[in-house]
């Protein structure tokens, strides 16, 4: 399938968030990526439920909500109600991951599981058949603008191999340091959803930056 692009509003201008959401609406991007950080699982605090609701009011594309929080089960229904179309939780914080994934699906959302850079892909072997998406973090979560971790290519290939064997058609998302210089290689390694923040919102022409990432050769 053709790969998707999900601009990350963590890199948007928070004082002009409606403007930036409307830019994504006009773009060739597919989803709006929304990072939720609690200051506990990651050393930063980002958006909460009121902001997600506000984004949803203006968004014309699905909200791809990435929960970088402890005890995500407490908030799954709330994020669904706020407008999440897909919800991704972290392997590292879920004691009963299968139950969490099933709950996300029962809410009618796309169910994703994210892996931090140090977490082995092999740990997904017993759950991948139940997932809609795997998210490979190609930076340490918490802040935008970090340098891409080269080992991420290997992890993408490992997820793709698991997908081919156990879950054909799995969405394989990559988040962190994605830009024009590595997009093609990421897609070649198996990534089919590219999350891009700084490379979009710091560009002179964000619409053109998104269009470049969407190119079949990207």
What's the pLDDT at 44?
86
DSSP string, 135-168: EEESS-TT-SSPPPPTTHHHHHHHHHHHHHHH-T
Provide the number of structural domains found in the chain. 1
Evaluate whether 136 touches 160 at the Cβ level (below 8 Å). no
**Which residue is listed with tokens 């006009």?**
26
CB atoms within 10 A of CB 161: 12
8 vs 6: CA distance, rounded Å: 6
What's the pLDDT at 145?
63
Q: Low-confidence residues of the chain, pLDDT below 70?
A: 1, 142-145, 217-218
**Which residue is listed with tokens 């709006």?**
32
CATH number for 174: 3.20.20.70
144: left (phi over 0), alpha (psi -120 to 50) or beta: beta
What's the pLDDT at 217?
67
Phi, psi torsion values for 86, nearest 5 degrees:
-130, 145
**Which residue is listed with tokens 């053709």?**
2
> Which residues are the active-site residues?
35, 175
- Owning domain of residue 25: 4-214
141 vs 71: CA distance, rounded Å: 17
Phi, psi torsion values for 77, nearest 5 degrees:
-60, -40
Q: Listing from the earlier edge strand, what are the strands of the sheet with 32-37?
A: 4-7, 193-196, 171-175, 133-137, 110-115, 86-90, 63-68, 32-37
158 vs 84: CA distance, rounded Å: 28
What's the pLDDT at 142?
65
Q: What is the pLDDT of residues 123-166, one digit of tens each?
A: 999 999 999 999 999 998 766 667 899 999 999 999 999 999 99
What's the pLDDT at 191?
97
Per the DSSP assignment, residues forming a β-bridge with 19 are none
What's the pLDDT at 48?
92
């Amino acid at each position: 399938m053709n790969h998707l692009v999900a601009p990350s509003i963590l890199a948007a201008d928070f004082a002009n968030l409606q403007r930036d959401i409307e830019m994504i609406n006009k773009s060739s991007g597919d989803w709006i990526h929304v990072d939720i950080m609690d200051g506990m699982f990651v050393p930063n605090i980002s958006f909460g439920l009121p902001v997600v609701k506000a984004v949803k009011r203006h968004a014309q594309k699905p909200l791809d909500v990435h929960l970088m929080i402890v005890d995500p089960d407490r908030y799954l229904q709330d994020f669904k109600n706020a407008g999440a179309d897909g919800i991704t939780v972290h392997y590292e914080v879920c004691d009963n991951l299968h139950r969490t994934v099933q709950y996300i699906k029962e809410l009618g959302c796309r169910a994703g599981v994210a892996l931090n850079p140090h977490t082995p892909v092999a740990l997904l072997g017993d759950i991948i058949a139940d997932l809609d998406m795997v998210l490979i973090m190609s930076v340490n979560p918490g802040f935008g603008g970090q340098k891409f971790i080269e080992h991420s290519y290997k992890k993408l290939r490992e997820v793709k191999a698991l997908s081919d064997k156990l879950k054909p058609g799995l969405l394989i998302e990559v988040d962190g340091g994605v830009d024009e210089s590595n997009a093609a290689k990421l897609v070649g390694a198996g990534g089919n959803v590219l999350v891009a923040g700084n490379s979009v919102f710091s560009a002179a022409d964000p619409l053109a930056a998104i269009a470049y990432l969407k190119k079949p050769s990207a």
